[in-house]
Structure 1
Amino acid sequence: MKIQFLFLAMLCSLTTIAQDFQGKATYKTHSNMDLKISTGDKAPNSDLQKQIQERMKKMFQKTYTLNFTKSTSTYTQNKELEPAAQSGGVQVMVFGNGGGNDILYKNTTEKKYVNKTEVFSKEFLIKDKLSDAAWEMSGETKKIGKYTCYKATRTREEEQISHIMTDGETEEKKQMVTVNTVAWYTPEIPVNNGPDMFWGLPGLILEVHEGKRTIVCTEIVLNPAEKVKIKEPKGGKKVNQEEYEKIVKEKVAEMNERFRNNRGKGESINIQIGG
């Protein structure tokens, strides 16, 4: 009887620990941008390219915090000094990169996400289903900090849209590209979650390489003394992902048209990324 009672007590204790398990992970992101700029028949302006590439590099160097439990998480950008948006006659406009007040909530048990984001000075609440992550597992391992991590990969086809402006006229170019993703996860932290929209592996994802984007975990705190609060965000215009992308596309077209009409008022360069 005492042995049965002790076993029951241990089982209850383990269940309580599993329910209370939570953590906080810090990630740093950066992207390498390949830009080629030319005007008419002129050769690419190398100085201008370097200036814009450096500006873009700083804009994509950000730090995020992932607060997580066994099945839920919030992913938010840490407050940092934003780089200047315009200098020396160069204007860089980035859409779909996420703002400092964005909140990405994921529930991996219910396979859903809610993304509260602001674009064009308007708040949106994007609610949709998490896509099944078709990961291919690998036995390859490496250490990230003190954690042993395993490699997983996936490949998907994606439509890439670019805008080419010639003599004030904008041409939209669409092409299918192959996107390769490499993720490193650790089963030592048994949550099927990770940074941004990455999830679906038997352990926390600590590093991601996708195209020219890299996300690396720099710090992990498990069961912090100050409990993390994970709540589904509210507020903003409710849309699904497809509706949101349509709105952004229409707004970008309006801004391109405005730029075309005002092209005689001064030289500027617009670079559109994401969406």
Structure 2
Amino acid sequence: MKYLSITIAFIIAFTQGIFAQGKRFTPSGTIEFEKTVNMYALIQKMIDKDNESFYAPLFDQYKKQKPQFKKLKSTLTFGKGQTLFTPTEDEDNDNTFGSPMVSQNNTTYTDLTTGMSVTQKKVYENLFLVKDTVRRIKWKITDERRDIAGYPCRRANALVMDSIYVVAFYTDEIPTSGGPESFTGLPGMILGLAMPHENITWFATKVTDQPIPANNIKPPVKGKPMDNKKLKETILGAMADWGNYGKSALKALML
């Protein structure tokens, strides 16, 4: 029995070694993301009894001319504990209902080794440069799994900004703890992200494993300098009389 136990232990260790050798790791490269916005659901939430006489006909016309889902592109460059999320310019550039949730407002640099981030944030006609610590997110990792862009991913859930429910899928085969926009904090790269109640998702469509020169991942430099607290105060001051739309816009602009 002693020899049998040793033999079984050896076989298990050998098998695990084979699987470990077959597991790939991507230390640096670029990820192409696609952001999908359910425009019909988003617009429907904007319509209430006070504005329906104006918005309802506009929404009917929109549905005749535009698809339900708006697609937006972005890239995430990563390597040596740094990430740079860069939106691709929207060719359609249509935001008929003016919701900041539709636009991609942020170019975000994150230094995961120091825990600092720099975000160039466009708020309507203004450009801000927000320097602050990386957002701390209390993730709850689950057993649900799925493949995204050829990588096995595991699901995690969280609540950000006190009210936004977030679902993320991360892979430990890309050991950088980054993700789209300002989402970080999982034991691997986030390749899928959803905010179900906001009707928005980000999913990786392609991962390119390649060396990235250190000077290719640089923080943005243009914009009025401030931190997140000052940014929130600035936006609240400008939108003091915007009612429910102002609350929704604040949530989108602070992501």
TM-score (norm 2): 0.71
Residue in structure 2 matched with residue 190 of structure 1 by the alignment: 175
Q: 1:115 to 1:51 in 2, by over 3 A?
A: farther
Aligned-pair CA distance for 1:40: 5.3
1:26 matched to which residue of 2? 32
Pairwise CA distance, 1:128? 0.9
1:209 has 2:194 as partner: yes
Deviations 1:175-209 (A, max 9, x none): xxx43221111111111111111111111111011
Helix, strand or coil at the partner of 1:49: helix
| Offset of residue 122 of structure 1 | 2.8
Shift of 1:157: 6.2
> Which residue number in structure 2 is paired with residue 166 of structure 1?
none
Cα deviation for residue 75 of structure 1 reads 0.6
Q: 1:244 aligns with which of 226, 231, 242?
A: 231
SS of aligned partner of 1:195 = coil
Alignment pair present for 1:135 and 2:120: no
Asked whether 1:153 is paired with 2:162, we answer no
Q: Is the 8 A contact 2:135 2:183 kept in 1?
A: no
Deviation at 1:37, TM superposition (A): 2.9
Rounded Cα–Cα distance in structure 2 between residues aligned with 1:98 and 1:237: 20
- Secondary structure, aligned partner of 1:194: coil
Unaligned runs of 5+ in 1: 1-17, 87-91, 159-177, 258-268
8 Å CA contact retained: 2:145, 2:152? yes
Q: Is the 8 A contact 1:65 1:75 kept in 2?
A: yes
Q: Which residue of 1 aligns with 2:91?
A: 81
Q: CA deviation at 1:225?
A: 8.1
Q: Please list the CA deviations of residues 9-63 of structure 1 after superposition, one character each: whole Å capped at 9, or x if unmatched.
A: xxxxxxxxx9x942100111123313353555977964433445776966x5311
Tell me, in whole angstroms, the C-alpha distance in 1 between the residues paired with 2:78 and 2:52. Answer: 52
Aligned length: 219
- Kept in 1, the 8 Å contact 2:193–2:203? The answer is yes
Does 1:144 pair with 2:129? no
1:124 CA drift (Å): 1.1
Task: Specify the code of the residue in structure 2 equivalent to 1:218.
Answer: T
Distance 1:270 1:244 in 2: 14
| Structure with greater helix share of residues | 2
| 1:61 paired residue number | 71
When normalised by structure 1's length, the TM-score is: 0.67
More strand by share: 1
Q: Give 1:244 deviation, angstroms.
A: 1.0
User: How many angstroms apart in 2 are the aligned matches of 1:22 and 1:65?
Assistant: 13
Deviation at 1:145, TM superposition (A): 3.1
Match of 1:93 in 2: 98
Following the alignment from structure 2 to structure 1, what is the Cα–Cα distance between the partners of residues 156 and 236? 32
The residue that corresponds to 2:222 in the other structure is 235
Judge conservation of contact 1:74–1:104 (CA < 8 Å) in 2.
yes
In structure 1, distance between residues paired with 2:230 and 2:177:
28
CA distance in structure 2 between the aligned counterparts of 1:180 and 1:108, rounded to whole angstroms: 23
Q: Could you tell me how far apart the structure 2 residues matched to 1:42 and 1:122 are?
A: 30
Q: Indicate if the aligned counterparts of 1:99 and 1:117 stay in contact, CA closer than 8 A.
A: no
C-alpha contact 1:93 1:271 (8 A) present in aligned 2: no
